[in-house]
Amino acid sequence: MEQVRSARPRAGIVGGGIGGLTAAIALGKAGWAVTVYERAPEFTEVGAAVVLFPNALAALDEIGVGDQVRAVSLRYSSGAIRNLRGRTLVSRRSGDLAGGRDLAIVHRAELIDVLARAIPCECLRTGTRVTGVGVGGEIVTDAGVDCYDLVVAADGVHSVVRQQIWPGEGTVERTGVSAWRWIVDAPPLGFVGQVWGIAGEFGILPSAGDRTYAFAGARRGIGSLEYFADWPEPVAQLVANADPARIIEDELLEIRTPKSLTRGKVALIGDAAHAMRPHLGLGAALAIEDGVTLAAYADDLRGYSKARRRRVHAVQWISRRMSTVVMPANRPLAVARDVAVRMSPDALALSIYGVIKRWRPQPIACPPHEAASRFSP
Ligand SMILES: Cc1cc2nc3c(=O)[nH]c(=O)nc-3n(C[C@H](O)[C@H](O)[C@H](O)COP(=O)(O)OP(=O)(O)OC[C@H]3O[C@@H](n4cnc5c(N)ncnc54)[C@H](O)[C@@H]3O)c2cc1C
Residue whose Cα lies nearest atom 2 of ligand 1: it is 278
Residue whose Cα lies nearest atom 29 of ligand 1: it is 17
- E strands along the chain, which residues? 10-14, 33-37, 49-52, 73-75, 80-82, 88-90, 104-107, 124-125, 132-133, 138-141, 144-147, 150-153, 172-184, 193-196, 200-207, 211-218, 248-255, 262-263, 266-268
Q: For residues 209 and 74, what is the distance between their CA atoms, to the nearest angstrom?
A: 8
Residue 197, ligand 1, Cβ within 6 A? no
* Cis ω before 234 (30° cut-off from 0): yes
Looking at the CA of residue 290, tell me the nearest atom of ligand 1.
26
* Centroid of ligand 1 to alpha carbon of 351 (angstroms): 26
* Centroid of ligand 1 to alpha carbon of 347 (angstroms): 31
Q: For residues 103 and 56, what is the distance between their CA atoms, to the nearest angstrom?
A: 9
Is residue 51 within 8 A of residue 134, CB to CB? The reply is no
Q: Which residues pair with 172 in a beta bridge?
A: 255
- Tens-place pLDDT, residues 198-241: 999 999 999 888 999 999 999 999 989 999 999 999 999 999 99
pTM of the model: 0.94
104: helix, strand or coil = strand
CA distances from 169 to 47, 163, 255, 295 (A): 27, 8, 9, 24
Q: Probe ligand 1: pick from 13, 25, 39, 164, max atoms within 8 Å of CB?
A: 39
Supply the CATH classification number for the domain 10-373.
Answer: 3.50.50.60
Q: Which candidate, 39, 1, 53, 16, places its Cα nearest to that of 282?
A: 53
pLDDT tens string, the chain, 377 residues long: the values are 334 445 899 999 999 999 999 999 999 999 999 999 999 998 876 778 999 999 999 999 999 999 999 999 998 667 888 999 999 887 666 667 766 667 899 999 999 999 999 999 999 999 999 999 999 999 999 999 999 999 999 999 999 999 999 999 999 999 999 999 999 999 998 889 999 999 999 999 998 889 999 999 999 999 899 999 999 999 999 999 999 999 999 999 999 999 999 999 999 999 999 999 998 889 999 999 999 999 999 999 999 999 999 999 999 999 999 999 999 999 999 999 999 888 876 667 777 777 787 899 999 988 765 554 566 54
Residue 181, ligand 1, Cβ within 6 A? yes
Which phi and psi (to 5°) does residue 181 adopt? -145, 145
- Residues contacting residue 364 through CB under 8 Å, at least 6 positions apart: 26, 29, 30, 62, 63, 292, 295, 296
The domain limits of the chain are: 10-373
- The pLDDT score that the predictor gives to residue 128 is 98
- The pLDDT score that the predictor gives to residue 4 is 44
Residue 16, ligand 1, Cβ within 6 A? yes
- Tens-place pLDDT, residues 304-320: 999 999 999 999 999 99
- The pLDDT score that the predictor gives to residue 374 is 60
* Centroid of ligand 1 to alpha carbon of 68 (angstroms): 20
* Centroid of ligand 1 to alpha carbon of 197 (angstroms): 27
Q: For residues 106 and 114, what is the distance between their CA atoms, to the nearest angstrom?
A: 11
- The pLDDT score that the predictor gives to residue 372 is 46
